[in-house]
A and B are shown apart, each in its own frame.
Chain A
Amino acid sequence: MNLTLKVWRQANPQAKGKMETYNIKEVSPDMSFLEMMDVLNEQLMAQEIDPIAFDHDCREGICGMCSMFINGEAHGPDRLVTTCQLHMRKFKDGDTITIEPFRAKAFPVIKDLTVDRSSFDRVQQAGGFVSVNTSGNTQDANAIPIDKHDADKAFDAATCIGCGACVATCKNASAMLFVSAKVSQYALLPQGKVEATDRVLNMVKQMDEEGFGNCTNTGACEVECPKGISLENIARMNREYLSASLKG
């Protein structure tokens, strides 16, 4: 496959970036998108051009590190996959592919296609955990009976890898799907209920302070989420938040 790539290049957070066009030849349809980017970078280095910076780690679709907004969609045109699991067979010979960083005020560009997603870390640190007393006689989590239905829903919510595709794809750059997944995975379990009130209030407060937009229920996040996190989680967080606010 021969492709034309239009890639966002930005030297540093302060620099004014722009789209650059590169041609790449003999791309195998069996390559992952990131492997194609590796080949492009080798080509650029051979031409003494600064290689394109992009995030990646596990390349198995579970770490949440890779990002990229490909042809107008977070993680590209395929569904339920991250960019590392997107294969070049999804494209056709002669295609022009636009590659941009995940864009949001709360995800500032570091360089080229890498963005700073530490706003997610701060939201998580605001309450996305269960405090455990490490006195040495901590109760075994499995000793508490949990309804299978709730356990499944909590597990589904916990599969969120925090990649930020929800923010990137939302027309409002809202982080509601991510935050609601983190709130839900604890809200559904007895271990999480103790701190449920503070958790949802603090996480939503931090989310708002980070500059994410408001959810308008377009549902785009659910469609583009590589882990299929459901909008049900957002409704659950809305309920949790309302009930927590009324409790004070």
Chain B
Amino acid sequence: MTLTASSIGRKVAMALSGIFLVLFLTQHFSINMLSVFSESMFNQVSHFMGNNPIVQFVLQPILIFGVLFHFIMGIVLELKNSKSRTVKYANYKGNANASWMSRNMIYSGIVILSFLVLHFYDFWVPEMNYKYVEVLPLNPDRYFEELVHKFENPVRVGIYALSFVFLCLHLLHGFASSFQSVGINNKYSKVIKSFTTAFAVVVPLGFVFIALFHHLTAF
């Protein structure tokens, strides 16, 4: 049996792709946070990320593969798991022994996936169109304005904020769980749990703060 065909192999693959997405999220969060402090720095870094060939043609495809892999594998595992108990319990007290987050990863994941569709429509599709379809002239100063423009709409800010609540719930279980999946459960686990919990709260709330900041300061 190959590694990816086994239950443990698939869990490890989920964990590694999850950790990769957490690293991406950290990078995305750091760049977005710049927009709060300095318009020019945000433009500079965004221009670099948007035009550097390694970022565009190596890292970006890896990221897209990572996102798709994590979602598809998550759904594959969920389908397998639902078939492992064909007759359901009449009375099942899931909250007696496991957190809501850990029992509902598929639902928080689906919300995040739906959010990503909106997010791609908002930023990635126009960006691809700008650079590779219409091939408009390079403008290193456009990124901040585009960002602020997107957060003018309160409904969009609301949807973003709600989505990040689900990202927080997803990370609260998923980030710590990925260490267990790759076999790390030892004397450092308490520190890991504290760190992953802090990350799961601070980063999504930070994204909400950024959206609200631009919404409220745009006028």
CA distance A30 to B165 in the complex (A): 47
A103/B85 contact (C-beta < 8 A), A207-B7, A214-B77 known: yes
A98/B91 contact (C-beta < 8 A), A208-B6, A218-B103 known: yes
**Is the pair A169, B85 in contact by a Cβ cutoff of 8 Å?**
no
- Across the interface, A171 reaches (CB within 8 A) one of B94, B177, B183, namely B94
**Is the pair B81, A172 in contact by a Cβ cutoff of 8 Å?**
yes
**Is the pair B84, A105 in contact by a Cβ cutoff of 8 Å?**
yes
**Is the pair A71, B91 in contact by a Cβ cutoff of 8 Å?**
yes
**Is the pair A238, B94 in contact by a Cβ cutoff of 8 Å?**
no
Residue of A nearest to B183 (CB): A239
- Across the interface, B102 reaches (CB within 8 A) one of A98, A103, A105, A219, namely A219
Interface: A156 (CB within 8 A): no
Interface: B133 (CB within 8 A): no
Stretch at the interface among B9-17, B22-30, B51-59, B149-157: B9-17
Count the A-B residue pairs with Cβ separation under 8 angstroms: how many? 138
Interface: A242 (CB within 8 A): yes
A216/B102 contact (C-beta < 8 A), A98-B90, A104-B85 known: yes
CA distance A143 to B21 in the complex (A): 50
**Is the pair A169, B11 in contact by a Cβ cutoff of 8 Å?**
no
Contact flags (1/0) for A185-221 with B, using CB distance below 8 Å?
0000000000000000100110110011111111110
- Across the interface, B86 reaches (CB within 8 A) one of A6, A105, A220, namely A105
Q: Which residues of A contact B181 (CB under 8 A)?
A: 217, 238
CA distance A73 to B87 in the complex (A): 16
**Is the pair A214, B80 in contact by a Cβ cutoff of 8 Å?**
yes
**Is the pair A103, B3 in contact by a Cβ cutoff of 8 Å?**
no
A173/B90 contact (C-beta < 8 A), A216-B102, A245-B3 known: no
Q: How large is the interface on B (under 10, 10 to 19, 20 to 34, 35 or more residues)?
A: 35 or more
Contact flags (1/0) for B89-108 with A, using CB distance below 8 Å?
11111101111001101000
A72/B102 contact (C-beta < 8 A), A103-B85, A204-B6, A214-B77 known: no
Interface: B68 (CB within 8 A): no
Interface: B110 (CB within 8 A): no
Interface: A112 (CB within 8 A): no
CA distance A72 to B77 in the complex (A): 24
Residue of B nearest to A224 (CB): B97
Interface: A106 (CB within 8 A): yes
CA distance A214 to B177 in the complex (A): 13
**Is the pair A215, B11 in contact by a Cβ cutoff of 8 Å?**
yes
Contact flags (1/0) for B149-192 with A, using CB distance below 8 Å?
00000000000000000000000010001001111111000000
**Is the pair A19, B11 in contact by a Cβ cutoff of 8 Å?**
no
- Across the interface, B84 reaches (CB within 8 A) one of A173, A232, A242, namely A173
Interface: B1 (CB within 8 A): yes
Q: Which residues of B contact A104 (CB under 8 A)?
A: 84-85
Interface residues in B29-52 (C-beta closer than 8 Å to A): none
**Is the pair A205, B102 in contact by a Cβ cutoff of 8 Å?**
no
Contact flags (1/0) for A62-73 with B, using CB distance below 8 Å?
000000010111
Q: Which residues of B contact A73 (CB under 8 A)?
A: 93, 96-97
Distance in Å from the Cβ of B132 to the closest Cβ of chain A?
39
- Across the interface, B7 reaches (CB within 8 A) one of A71, A100, A208, A224, namely A208
- Could you list 28 A-B pairs, sorted by A, with CB under 8 Å? A71-B93, A72-B91, A72-B96, A73-B93, A98-B91, A105-B85, A106-B84, A172-B81, A173-B84, A173-B85, A211-B84, A213-B80, A214-B7, A214-B10, A214-B80, A215-B7, A215-B11, A216-B81, A216-B105, A218-B98, A219-B99, A223-B96, A231-B180, A232-B186, A235-B186, A238-B12, A241-B8, A245-B9
Residues of chain A having any CB pair with chain B under 8 Å: 6, 8, 19, 69, 71-73, 77, 98, 100, 103-106, 109, 169, 171-174, 176, 201, 204-205, 207-208, 211-220, 223-224, 231-232, 234-239, 241-242, 245
